[in-house]
Amino acid sequence: MDPLTWFEAAESIKPVVAAHYQVILDCLLMHGALGKDGIAALTNLDGNQVARRLNEMKVLGLIELTGNTVKSNSGRNEREWKAFSLSQKKPSISLQQSVA
C-alpha cells in the first residue's frame, strides 16, 4: 500500500474507531465487567473489532483489566475488562481526541 492510500485509509477509519470506543465504554458502564466475547455479544460488534479496541482503550485510560478471567464463547479463559468507575480519575481526553 502506498503512503497516500494508507493515510487516506487511516483517516477514513477514525470516526469508526471513536464510535467503537463509545459503544464499548457504554456497554461496560451499563453491564459491568465483561470479557471480549461478552462485549461483542451485547454490542453487536465483531469480536475482532472489540479485541482491537480494548488495548487501545486501556492505553487511553478509558478502561482497565479487572485481574479476573471469564470464559470465552469457545470455553477458553479471556481477560475481563471494566470501565473506570466515576469515583476514579476521569480520562483527560475525549473519545474524539483519542483518534485524532
- For the chain, the first-to-last Cα distance in angstroms comes to 22
- For residue 93, being part of any structural domain is answered with no
**CA R_g for the chain:** 14
- Residue 72 is part of a domain; what is its CATH number? 1.10.10.10
The three three-digit cell numbers of residue 44, written as one number: 453487536
Please report whether residue 94 resides in a domain.
Answer: no
Whether 100 is in a domain gets the answer: no
The pLDDT tens digits of the residues spanning 65-86 come to 999 999 999 999 999 999 986 5
pLDDT tens digits, one per residue of 18-51: 899 999 999 999 999 999 999 999 999 999 999 9
> Who has greater pLDDT, 6 or 81?
81
Amino acid 73: pLDDT: 94
Residue 49 in domain:
yes
In a domain, 92, yes or no: no
Higher pLDDT, 95 or 73: 73
Residue 1 falls inside a structural domain = no
Could you tell me if 66 and 72 are in contact, meaning their C-beta atoms sit under 8 angstroms apart?
no
pTM beyond 0.95: no
Residue 47 lies in a domain: yes
Domains identified in the chain, total number: 1
Q: Is residue 2 part of a domain?
A: no
Burial string for 30-57 (b: 16+ CB within 10 Å, else e) reads eeebbbbbbbbebbebebebbeebbebb
Question: Structural domain of residue 70, as residue ranges?
Answer: 7-86
Q: Is 55 in a helix, a strand, or coil? A: helix
